[in-house]
Structure 1
Amino acid sequence: MLPLPSGEFQAYLFDCDGTIVDSMPLHYLAWQQALAEWNCDFPEDVFYAWGGRTVVDIIAALNERQGLAMPPAAVARRREDLYRELLPRLTAVPEVRQHIDQAHRRLPFAVVSGSTRESVTASLETLGLLEKFDVLVCAEDYTMAKPDPEGFLLAARLLGVPPESCLVFEDTELGIRAATAAGMASVRVPEAGQRRTVGRQRDRIGEASAAF
């Protein structure tokens, strides 16, 4: 299970994509398909570096970088539709789901995501997790994207829990910085590639042990 920092926490706050749900590869595929219609390039390393930014913010940044005039609302809608088509392939991040299952009903939960409410709801419903969360704070609910702490502070306020009593689960550097700025403890969720590497290492260790 993912190790947590020491402390008595009164609430858990989770990023969604890449933290609760292993959705980043699916989101990237949807981005690629949507942006190809506008001849817009979105390198994979930039996509992951911008984790935590809102969809509209990403489109605006791509427009500025590449001298394009993509309509943010239309591109965001197209990307959302393409992502929903990929939802049957969605899985949960097992190390995080263990903590959700273990602490459910014992602590209140919130999601703080840069994705739209529609996207977050669809992802959590697909995995049967939506009902476990007391509060959803999504892109429409705040104005300053991570690493600004606005989203996390709003979630704490809605839960009625002091920021210093919240523990944040995040997979991006921007998210960790936002949690720190909010005065919250945090735990870094390994990215998908890191989790798979560790899993393969454990499998090899298990195979070697079995050989003896």
Structure 2
Amino acid sequence: MYERYAGLIFDMDGTILDTEPTHRKAWHEVLAHYGMRFDEQAMVGLNGSPTWRIAQAIIEANQADFDPHLLANEKTAAVKTMLLDCVRPLPLIDVVKEWHGRRPMSVGTGSESAIAEVLLTHLGLRQYFTAVIAADHVKNHKPAPDTFLLCAQKMGVDPSQCVVFEDADFGLMAAHAAGMDVVDVRVL
């Protein structure tokens, strides 16, 4: 089905790994310390964004005066303690295993590289990917194409010859902006 592509790129959170419930739990715990809350639907709209951008949206929604980078760091620390015990691969990981060794593959995620690398290694999945491009590797995050363009570059594949697997609107926009085909895994 994907033979016509020279490279496969996978989003991580919600696409190949079931991390979303753990991320929400970490946000709830961190925000409870400050009497803040977040709207679940608004958070879904921010899927694929770096943590500091989500923190900024939460701060604005709560009309609070916090540094979004500090709040993001606190959430990242909280989620690190939870993820290794809670996260499991999603069914799309079968596509990764099927195409391993047949095409270069990479991960393009809005998560920080420390989290992505630890999770993929812990679950025995890191060896499937030529590169893992995370939020701290690019200046412009999804919906900008930078994450996926860097994935293509690291794989040595022309962007027009890549397909991206995504579960978030920002990621779908980023893939299109990169000139790549995209599979919306929410409809698989």
**TM norm structure 1:** 0.82
Q: Distance in 2 between matches of 1:179 and 1:169?
A: 9
8 A contact 1:14–1:112 mirrored in 2: yes
Q: 2:170 aligns with which of 157, 174, 183?
A: 174
Aligned equivalents of 1:125 and 1:25: distance in 2? 20
**Residue equivalent to 1:91:** 88
The aligned counterpart of 1:41 is 37
1:188 aligns with 2:168: no
Corresponding residue for 2:19?
Answer: 23
The residue type paired with residue 145 of structure 2 is: P
Q: Equivalences for 1:45-64 in 2 at 5 Å?
A: 45-64=41-60
Listed as ranges, the gaps of 5+ residues in structure 1 are 196-212
Q: 1:7, CA displacement in angstroms?
A: 5.9
Q: Specify the code of the residue in structure 2 equivalent to 1:90.
A: V
Shift of 1:70: 2.1
* Inter-partner Cα distance in structure 2 for 1:114 and 1:12: 17
- Correspondence for 2:97: 101
Deviations 1:132-165 (A, max 9, x none): 1111111111122211111111111121111110
**Counterparts of 1:107-146 in structure 2 under 5 Å?**
107-146=103-142
- For 2:22, the aligned partner's letter is L
CA distance in 2, matches of 1:61, 1:185: 29
State the AA in 2 paired with 1:161.
V
Q: Which residue of 2 aligns with 1:66?
A: 62
Deviations 1:27-61 (A, max 9, x none): 11111111111222111111111101110111122
Matched, 1:152 2:148: yes
Specify the code of the residue in structure 1 equivalent to 2:170. Answer: L
* Whole-Å separation in 1 of the counterparts to 2:39 and 2:58: 11
- Equivalent pair of 2:130/2:154 in contact (CA under 8 Å): no
Q: Secondary structure at the match of 1:78?
A: helix
The answer as to whether partners of 1:38 and 1:70 remain within 8 angstroms in 2 is: no
> Which sits farther off after the overlay, 73-82 or 152-161?
73-82
Distance 2:41 2:69 in 1: 24
Identity over aligned residues, as a percent? 32
Inter-partner Cα distance in structure 1 for 2:3 and 2:155: 19
AA in 1 matched with 2:87: L
Q: What runs of 5+ residues in structure 2 fail to find an aligned partner?
A: none
* Deviation of 1:170 (Å): 0.3
Corresponding residue for residue 72 of structure 2: 76
User: How far, CA to CA, are the matches of 2:10 and 2:33 in structure 1?
Assistant: 33
Q: Greater shift after overlay, 166-175 or 151-160? A: 151-160
Which structure would you say has the larger Rg?
1
**Normalized against structure 2, the TM-score is what?**
0.92
